[in-house]
A and B are shown apart, each in its own frame.
Chain A
Amino acid sequence: SYELTQPPSLSVSPGQTASITCSGDKLGDKFAFWYQQRPGQSPVLVIYQDDKRPSGIPERFSGSNSGNTATLTISETQAMDEAGYYCQAWDSSTTRVFGGGTTLTVL
């Protein structure tokens, strides 16, 4: 089965850049999607099709995907960005796969 691997946690200082990685076999040949989940809330889509931002998502959020790694980058990180972040892709058939999630701490 297809697997997506994320670092469990990442810490960043306010105003700095956070880069969250998601690794999977030939992930660059697929589209990567990213979701933000604040504590006690439902997930929210922040990046789709590798690098597109839905309406209402700040420009500070950007994405890239190449080779075996997709990356979610948050520029000028704010306290409100503290959350769990999950990547998602499809395997070779029709199965939707989520990464294990990365907890971003802003301190």
Chain B
Amino acid sequence: QLQLQESGPGLVKASETLSLTCTVSGGSVRRSSYFWGWIRQAPGRGLEWIGSIYYSGSTYYNPSLKSRVTISVDISKNQFSLKLSSVTAADTAIYYCARETPTDTYDNNGSITYFFDYWGQGTLVTVSS
């Protein structure tokens, strides 16, 4: 059974960089076909996709966060990581890592898209002033 576990500081100072790691067990980040993503949820709010990485290192980011986000993968440790720079109180949230699996058919636009089928338990990061 695939498991994902987030780790990192629970408290980050404003203007500094938030760094989190997701450790994958029961499967390999090196396996092709899957993306590995980060999603966050501010207190009392909805889900917000931050970005995703393919095992090869290809990345896709939410345009609203792109200038501050870096996602990387460490195949040797079976981990992938998130860095979010210049944080403010608005970045206070529960941060989830998740695996993305491709659809098995094309949609009406002729695209293969991905969905989040395994999620970590989430970790709360608070930005302090």
Contact = CB atoms under 8 A, between A and B. Distances in A.
Interface string A65-107: 0000000000000000000101011101011111111000000
Interface size, A (range): 20 to 34
Nearest to B62: A95
A45 B115 contact: yes
A17 interface: no
Contact of B47 (A1, A49, A95, A98): A98
A61 interface: no
Given A30-B113, A45-B115, A45-B116, A96 B49 contact: yes
A49 B46 contact: no
B69 to A, nearest CB: 13
Task: Pick the most buried of A37, A92, A96: most chain B CB atoms within 10 A of its CB.
Answer: A96
The residue among B64, B105, B111 with the most chain A CB atoms within 10 A of its own CB is B111
Contact of A45 (B37, B103, B117, B121): B117
Interface residues of B, number: 28
A30 B109 contact: yes
A74 B109 CA distance: 28
Contact of B107 (A30, A54, A86, A99): A30
Interface in A30-46: 30-31, 33, 35, 37, 42-45
Contacts of B113: 30-31, 89-90
Nearest to B94: A42
A45 B113 CA distance: 15
Interface string B76-112: 0000000000000000000010000001110111010
Given A30-B108, A54-B117, A86-B47, 10 more contacts: A1-B64, A29-B108, A42-B121, A43-B47, A48-B103, A48-B115, A95-B60, A96-B52, A97-B49, A98-B49
